[in-house]
Every structure is written in structure tokens, then in C-alpha cells.
């Protein structure tokens, strides 16, 4: 986990399950959230939002799930972002 001087943090975990990769990012840094959303815009196959979960299906990558929660203690400016990137079963680390 990386904690920044302004109280923001980034926690990135990567794991491999056979040939597939899974990436999990926990952050309260708005710029990290924006970077991911902006970088996938031109590659989106499908986008959906159900309650607090945003789902993006990205061409030649897989699915990105983003959950946004209020911070504790509550701040109207900061949110907690839980980002899961799950590779498509046909896309492997070798692609």
C-alpha cells in the first residue's frame, strides 16, 4: 500500500490463476479512478451501472468492476474506489 502525504492511498494487488491475470486496486485517489475510465473509453464494448457497481466490458481485455463507497469518516469530496480488472477467459497473460 502506498500512502500519499495528503492522506490518499493506493493499494494494488495482482494475482495469476493459471494463465489469467486479476488486478485489484483500492484507492481514494480520484485521479486514479479517472485515469482508468478515460483510458478505456475508446475500447468499450459495453457499459452498465447497477446500484453502486459500474461495469465495463473492454475489447481484448475483459471486464472492469468499479465500486464507489463513501469514506469513513464521511467526506463529501473523497470516495473509496474498489476496482477489479478480470481478464476474459479467452484472453490470457500470453496474448
Which residues, other chains included, contact 6 with Cβ-Cβ below 8 Å and sequence gap of 6+? none
- Provide the whole-model pTM: 0.84
Binned average pLDDT, 10 residues per bin, the chain of 95 residues:
79 85 91 92 93 91 93 87 89 60
List the end-to-end C-alpha distance of the chain, in Å, as a whole number. 28
Q: What is the pLDDT of residues 48-70, one digit of tens each?
A: 998 889 999 999 889 999 999 99
Q: What range defines the domain where residue 55 resides?
A: 2-87
And the C-alpha cell for 82?
474498489
In a domain, 92, yes or no: no
Domain assignment present for 93 = no
Look at residue 41 and tell me if it is in a domain.
yes
Place of cell 469514506: 71
Within a domain: residue 94? Answer: no
Amino acid at each position: 500500500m502506498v500512502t500519499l502525504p495528503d492522506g490518499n492511498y493506493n493499494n494494488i494487488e495482482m494475482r495469476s490463476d493459471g494463465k489469467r491475470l486479476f488486478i485489484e486496486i483500492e484507492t481514494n485517489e480520484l485521479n486514479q479512478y479517472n485515469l482508468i475510465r478515460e483510458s478505456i473509453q475508446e475500447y468499450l464494448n459495453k457499459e452498465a451501472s447497477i446500484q453502486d457497481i459500474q461495469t465495463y466490458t473492454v475489447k481484448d481485455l475483459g471486464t472492469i468492476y468499479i465500486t464507489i463507497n463513501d469514506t469513513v469518516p464521511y467526506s463529501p469530496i473523497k470516495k473509496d474506489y474498489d476496482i477489479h480488472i478480470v481478464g476474459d477467459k479467452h484472453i490470457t497473460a500470453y496474448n
